[in-house]
Structure 1
Amino acid sequence: MRIYLLIAAIAGGVTWLVTPLIRHLAIEIGAVGQVRARDVHTIPTPRMGGLGMLIGFTVATIFASRMPFLSGLFNGNYQMWVILAGGIMISLLGMADDLWDLDWMLKLAGQLLISVFVAWGGLQIISLPFGDSLVTASPSLSMAITAFLIVASINAVNFVDGLDGLSSGIVAIGGIAFAIYSYIIARSSPSYASLATLIDVAMVGVCVGFLLHNWHPAKLFMGDSGSMLLGYLITCASIVMTGRLDPASIHASIYLPLFMPILLPILVLFLPVLDMVLAIARRLAKGQSPMHPDRMHLHHRMLRIGHSVRGAVLILWGWAALIAFGSITILFFKAQHVAAGMAAAVVVLTLATMYPYLKHRLPELQAENLAYEAARKSAQHATDAPRVGKADKSDTTSATGKADTTDTVNTANQSDQSDNKSDN
């Protein structure tokens, strides 16, 4: 474990040190993000921070190849170098987009070509669950599935990269969860060294190192060169994990917990994937391109209901941690205990998510209720008014009739008294 922590520290330290230099370079060559209608930031900010992340990851990889504990992952095995080459290419593609704003179809074609290259270099999903057993996929099917997963993850992280520190934090949380999982799985093998764990810890390191410069207000954006790199790396780590398992010797009922590497990228990137799916569906429903920009992403909605940038980022981190670590803990703890803990966390996060909306909406609801009660009482008073008038008229008539009767009786008495006087 100490070796992996050292790799993470190297990756994070190098990224933190070179990022200010990358910022100055971005300003010099014009890689500065202008303020667009869909952007949250209000001043032009340099992009291309992914180059610093790539340098940090590359240096950490070279150090790892020289360490006795991890050197076995590189001796006679070119998989890590293929992954690093793919990371360099995907970052260069992102840098080109940061500089010249490439057409989305051209960028997607580049992502697909790089993914196919990496799959052709040996990074493939070897087996798939089918019924009660596992089957080995054909080379062409393995390459197709691998390329699809890599492209989908790249764009998922790219879609969610809209607030300072959001995408790097979400990927770091997912990377920590996956590193723990892959490390535990590696402990059951003769060698504790794990290529998936190495990729994860180096990725977490570059995320933390860059986050120190990218926390709101950000001094530098990672740009497509960074978001595409992170989506690529976290998927490569999950695919590497599937290559450690032999489908011919493991029954599906035993293998299912170990098959989580295929599901884990979706789970640790649940928020980015959800945001991407919603965005694509929303744009296609309007007859727009799937890559057409708008201000309807999850982070935009968080800001719209009243969250600050930092508050929205922290809450989205919380949701990402809930899903990522919940998917891991269910493999090692009783399902009912995990479900109870996740239910409590969901309640807390839901209240935190809706707090600004409720804070402003509850007084409005109270004012609406008071206005409704006042209107209801006014209407009731207007309805009761005719009844009150009719009752007053009846009382007046009764009182008048009673007075007339009294006067008649008094007159009759006076007449009797006059008659009596005449008789006397």
Structure 2
Amino acid sequence: MREYLVVMAVAWVVTYLTTGLVRVAAIRFAPPPELRDRDVHTVPTPRLGGVAMYLGFLAALLFAAHLPMLHQWVYNTSLTIPGLLWGSGLLILLGVIDDRWGVDALIKLAGQVFAASVMVLSGVQIQWLPIPGYGTVVLDPTSSAVLSILIVVVMINAVNFVDGLDGLAGGMCAIAALAFFAYGYRLQVGYFISTAAPAVMIAAIVAGMCFGFLCHNWSPARIFMGDTGSMLLGLLLAAITILAIGQVDPDLVIQAAHSQTAATHKSLAVYIPLVLPFSCLALPMIDMIMAVVRRTAAGRSPFSADKQHLHHRLLQIGHSRQRAVLIMYLWSSLISAAVILATVTPPHRPPILYAMGALGLWLLVLLLPQARRRMDARADRRTARHAAARARRSVPVATAFNAENAVAGPHGAARPQLPDLVHSAGETRRPHG
């Protein structure tokens, strides 16, 4: 456990520290685009936050290579890391191009398929598939590659679809990564399956990346992850899913059980990787399916954008942005906990049940009208304080910049002052309150 927590902390700290630098670079390299009708934010905000997340990912991988346990169980016995580096590198390149200049939807889909194919052919693919009621099906190379690529592309677009509110995609992916971490660590420790270590390590890294980025992306966001970040998170979550499937031998698990009841619960662990990714990201996947059906029924392209996603509907019925995000967090956490609960024997269920009860109570409080008003009032006061602090910091910079532009020109005439670029073309500051 210690090694995984250290790797998670490295990803967290590096992502947090580099996001500010990436934000400054993004403002100069990729100026924030103009607002669109479907956008929820009111001020242009820089993107490319996914680059900082990728730096945190690389730093965590480099650090993990020097930890004895992870070096032995992940780097020496698995082809996971080279495949992830190739696939994620290609997606980062595609994401940067899309966030800076824009890419056609079909071209972007082709790029996603290509990056997924490179990662899968490098070794990150499903070798066999457990099917309830039938048993284990060994996949031939073609079926294995096609199914693995399909999982990656679906997961990438599911995360991309949910990236519509400040902190929403990062938090949902953090919840999914933590659920995978809990499941994979239980496989490794409770079932003595060391081949689960790659999935556990990647899940810990993804959680750390998301936590570090959320420090800058929570509403009001100072930077967005863009397609660079959403596609990277989707690829990594898909890789965790693929690595978790096929790591448990059902016959050995059932034979190790001491009773039929224990065997039933233990055998459920075989099929959880088939369900867990869809439960953790159930809301974005349902949203993606609804969007495709809605747009196709209206005679539009399924890749065309609209303002009818689940988070948009929560805003339309009166929830604030922060509360809408928290509601989706809690729903995802409850669904994920319910799936993990199914694999746990009754004596070990109370902690999970208590956690689910606390999550349900918090969700109920968020939905109460009185709690809404109090939460919104606190959010307004907090954002007002942040706005005042940012305004005080920006005044000296703007004054110095305008004073420099007022220096006399070559013929003795004072040059006209340029507009305050701190707000117009540089640091786009988000209004609060």
TM-score (norm 1): 0.79
Moved more, 269-278 or 347-356: 347-356
Does residue 54 of structure 1 match 2:57?
A: no
Paired with 2:319 and 2:176, the residues of 1 have a C-alpha distance of 23
Paired with 2:304 and 2:15, the residues of 1 have a C-alpha distance of 32
Paired with 1:166 and 1:123, the residues of 2 have a C-alpha distance of 28
Identify the residue that residue 18 of structure 1 maps to in structure 2. 18
- Choose the corresponding residue for 2:209, options 206, 210, 225: 206
- Choose the corresponding residue for 1:294, options 289, 303, 306: 306
The residue matched to 2:247 in structure 1 has which SS? coil
Paired with 1:9 and 1:194, the residues of 2 have a C-alpha distance of 17
Asked whether the equivalents of residues 127 and 247 of structure 1 are also in contact (C-alpha less than 8 Å), the reply is no
Does residue 43 of structure 1 match 2:43?
A: yes
Q: Aligned Cα RMSD in Å?
A: 2.6
Code of the residue aligned with 1:138 in structure 2: it is D
Paired with 1:259 and 1:166, the residues of 2 have a C-alpha distance of 28
In the TM superposition, what whole-angstrom CA distance separates every residue of 1:59-102 from its partner, at most 9, and x where no partner exists? 10011011111101112533222112211211221111101110
Identify the residue that residue 119 of structure 1 maps to in structure 2. 120
Identify the residue that residue 95 of structure 2 maps to in structure 1. 94
Paired with 1:257 and 1:2, the residues of 2 have a C-alpha distance of 24
The residue matched to 1:320 in structure 2 has which SS? helix
Q: Identity over aligned residues, as a percent? A: 41
Code of the residue aligned with 2:207 in structure 1: it is V
What count of residue pairs does the alignment treat as equivalent? 359
- Choose the corresponding residue for 1:223, options 216, 223, 226: 226
Identify the residue that residue 265 of structure 1 maps to in structure 2. 277
Paired with 2:200 and 2:193, the residues of 1 have a C-alpha distance of 15
Paired with 2:356 and 2:318, the residues of 1 have a C-alpha distance of 25
Paired with 1:77 and 1:340, the residues of 2 have a C-alpha distance of 37
Q: Relative to structure 1, is the Cα distance of residues 45 and 345 closer, same or farther in structure 2, using a 3 angstrom cutoff?
A: closer
TM-score (norm 2): 0.77
The residue matched to 2:75 in structure 1 has which SS? coil
Does residue 233 of structure 1 match 2:236?
A: yes
Paired with 2:91 and 2:291, the residues of 1 have a C-alpha distance of 23
Moved more, 184-193 or 174-183: 184-193
Identify the residue that residue 108 of structure 1 maps to in structure 2. 109
Aligned pairs (5 A) from 1:259-408: 259-334=271-346, 349=363, 352-353=366-367, 355=369
Paired with 2:361 and 2:65, the residues of 1 have a C-alpha distance of 45
Identify the residue that residue 414 of structure 1 maps to in structure 2. none
Ranges in structure 1 where 5+ consecutive residues have no aligned partner? 360-424
Ranges in structure 2 where 5+ consecutive residues have no aligned partner? 255-262, 374-433
Paired with 1:158 and 1:284, the residues of 2 have a C-alpha distance of 19
Give the CA deviation at 1:259: 2.2
Paired with 1:190 and 1:291, the residues of 2 have a C-alpha distance of 41
Identify the residue that residue 178 of structure 2 maps to in structure 1. 176
Code of the residue aligned with 2:146 in structure 1: it is A
Asked whether the equivalents of residues 176 and 281 of structure 2 are also in contact (C-alpha less than 8 Å), the reply is yes
Paired with 2:193 and 2:282, the residues of 1 have a C-alpha distance of 33
In the TM superposition, what whole-angstrom CA distance separates every residue of 1:319-347 from its partner, at most 9, and x where no partner exists? 11111122112211449987998689668
Paired with 1:309 and 1:19, the residues of 2 have a C-alpha distance of 22
Paired with 1:145 and 1:339, the residues of 2 have a C-alpha distance of 34
Give the CA deviation at 1:262: 2.1
Asked whether the equivalents of residues 196 and 244 of structure 2 are also in contact (C-alpha less than 8 Å), the reply is no
- Choose the corresponding residue for 1:196, options 195, 199, 202: 199
The residue matched to 1:134 in structure 2 has which SS? strand
Give the CA deviation at 1:192: 8.5
- Choose the corresponding residue for 1:161, options 160, 163, 176: 163
Larger radius of gyration: 1
Q: Relative to structure 1, is the Cα distance of residues 107 and 192 closer, same or farther in structure 2, using a 3 angstrom cutoff?
A: closer
Asked whether the equivalents of residues 149 and 235 of structure 1 are also in contact (C-alpha less than 8 Å), the reply is yes
The residue matched to 1:282 in structure 2 has which SS? helix
Q: Relative to structure 1, is the Cα distance of residues 356 and 125 closer, same or farther in structure 2, using a 3 angstrom cutoff?
A: farther
In the TM superposition, what whole-angstrom CA distance separates every residue of 1:325-384 from its partner, at most 9, and x where no partner exists? 22112211449987998689668636744749999xxxxxxxxxxxxxxxxxxxxxxxxx
In the TM superposition, what whole-angstrom CA distance separates every residue of 1:39-61 from its partner, at most 9, and x where no partner exists? 00111110000000000001100
The residue matched to 1:33 in structure 2 has which SS? coil
Give the CA deviation at 1:260: 1.0
Paired with 2:177 and 2:166, the residues of 1 have a C-alpha distance of 19
Give the CA deviation at 1:249: 5.3
Asked whether the equivalents of residues 330 and 360 of structure 2 are also in contact (C-alpha less than 8 Å), the reply is no
Asked whether the equivalents of residues 126 and 148 of structure 2 are also in contact (C-alpha less than 8 Å), the reply is yes
Q: Relative to structure 1, is the Cα distance of residues 113 and 358 closer, same or farther in structure 2, using a 3 angstrom cutoff?
A: same
Code of the residue aligned with 2:171 in structure 1: it is G
Paired with 2:31 and 2:140, the residues of 1 have a C-alpha distance of 43
